[in-house]
Amino acid sequence: MKRRDVLLGAGATLLTTTASRAQDGYPDRPITISNGYGPGGSTDVAARLMIDQMAPSLGTNARLIVENRAGASGTVATTWLARQPADGYSLMISESSSFAIWPSMHESGTRYRPLADFTWISTICTAPMVFIVKPDFPAQHAQDAFNILRSEQSASLDYSSSGPGSIPHIAAEMLKHALGNGVRSQHVPYRGGAPAVLSVAKGETAWGVASLGSAAGQMQGNLVRPLAVTSAQRFPAFPDVPTFAELGLRDMELSIFYLLHSPAGLSAELTARLNRSSVAALTHGQTRERFVNAGMQAWDGPNTPESSRDIVERELKRFAAIGERTGIKISG
């Protein structure tokens, strides 16, 4: 055997041993879970619901912190994450806007590849969307609101969203498409779900299709009026709000997926450890109840890195098909 081969073999062993020791000591500093929106939105809420339950199973010294990196419907944070080291200290909870909608519906795509540039760890929760209107909106029921949006009056009824290309934006455009060409409402984007919902509560905008996770608090306080949800069944915390399917708009069935991921290249050992920790956090009854009260449902389907990656692949195809069917495109 050549001396060079011996040295390379020893070096490889040393690298493996060093990596193993680093993982054995993991975590030895705070783990950051980023999200692409401001405080109070559904993605931020999901991250904060997870950190307390995940920490104990990661070790006695484990500390998880939430970091908000708002901008461009989560794509600013996602682009940033793709450039971070895959060491288990930089994680992110992303939702459908950044990992499926922008990559498949933006006219120039994104600077990251959802399937190639990230290690998908686990599925956290889902949330339906909810059609909300301002308190003095001139209709009490969804069908009456649909008729108003089809009329000339819609030109004075702007709608809000959590940003261009966000799933609330796409859902509102899908509603306009479903109601026909008469809807003339203009889009007013905000930097996150919480300010978008607040704009409806304050009457700055007339309506929106928001994440239920972002709107739940304002709904519970009767500050906005919910008229329909995009889930297949009525949401447990709001049983009086009908589904769009009940109202005859079956194409409006739509849920948001929230997934935990890291930059690509996270070791199999850390991926498995973080998957176990996040899945275990979702089994706590109190945590699941807190998700429902916040307008989301903790994921109870298959929950492995492979099944989570499959969701990303499926959502990319679904929103590409929605774009082809409706002609909706994201620009800017």
Burial of 13 (0-12, 13-18, 19+ CB in 10 A): exposed
pLDDT of 10 reads 47
Alpha helices in 211-267 (DSSP H): 212-220
Alpha helices in the chain (DSSP H): 3-24, 42-58, 75-82, 96, 102-105, 142-150, 167-179, 193-201, 212-220, 268-281, 285-293, 305-326
Tell me if 160 sits within 8 A of 200, measured CB to CB. yes
The band of 5, judged by pLDDT with boundaries at 50, 70 and 90, is: very low
Q: Is the pLDDT reported for residue 273 higher than 60?
A: yes
Span 203-217, average pLDDT: 96
Q: Is the pLDDT reported for residue 19 higher than 80?
A: no
The band of 20, judged by pLDDT with boundaries at 50, 70 and 90, is: very low
Look at strands 31-35 and 64-68 and give their pairing.
parallel
DSSP 161: E
Q: Is the pLDDT reported for residue 208 higher than 50?
A: yes
Residue-wise pLDDT tens digits, 30-73:
999 999 999 988 999 999 999 989 999 998 889 999 999 999 99
Span 321-326, average pLDDT: 92
Task: Please report where in the chains the tokens 């109190």 appear, as a residue.
Answer: 286
Q: Is the pLDDT reported for residue 2 higher than 70?
A: no
DSSP 330: B
More confident residue, 174 or 52: 174
Task: Please report where in the chains the tokens 């008229």 appear, as a residue.
Answer: 227
- Proportion of the chain above pLDDT 70, given as a percent: 93
First to last CA, the chain: 59
Span 212-217, average pLDDT: 94
Length of the chain: 332
Domain boundaries, the chain: 3-125+257-326, 128-252
- Proportion of the chain above pLDDT 90, given as a percent: 86
pLDDT of 52 reads 83
* Strand, coil or helix: 190: coil
Paired residues of 256 in beta bridges? 127
How far apart, in whole angstroms, are the C-alpha atoms of residue 314 and residue 302?
Answer: 15
Q: Identify the CA nearest to 299 among candidates 237, 253, 257, 238.
A: 257
Q: 3-125+257-326, which class in CATH? A: alpha beta
Say if 3-125+257-326 and 128-252 have the same CATH topology: yes
Arithmetic mean of pLDDT over the chain: 92
Look at strands 207-211 and 118-133 and give their pairing.
antiparallel
* Strand, coil or helix: 10: helix
For the structural domain made of 128-252, what CATH number should be given? 3.40.190.10
The band of 23, judged by pLDDT with boundaries at 50, 70 and 90, is: low
Span 102-118, average pLDDT: 96
Span 148-177, average pLDDT: 95
Residue-wise pLDDT tens digits, 82-101:
999 999 999 999 999 999 99
Tell me if 234 sits within 8 A of 241, measured CB to CB. yes
Span 203-229, average pLDDT: 96
How far apart, in whole angstroms, are the C-alpha atoms of residue 129 and residue 63?
Answer: 32
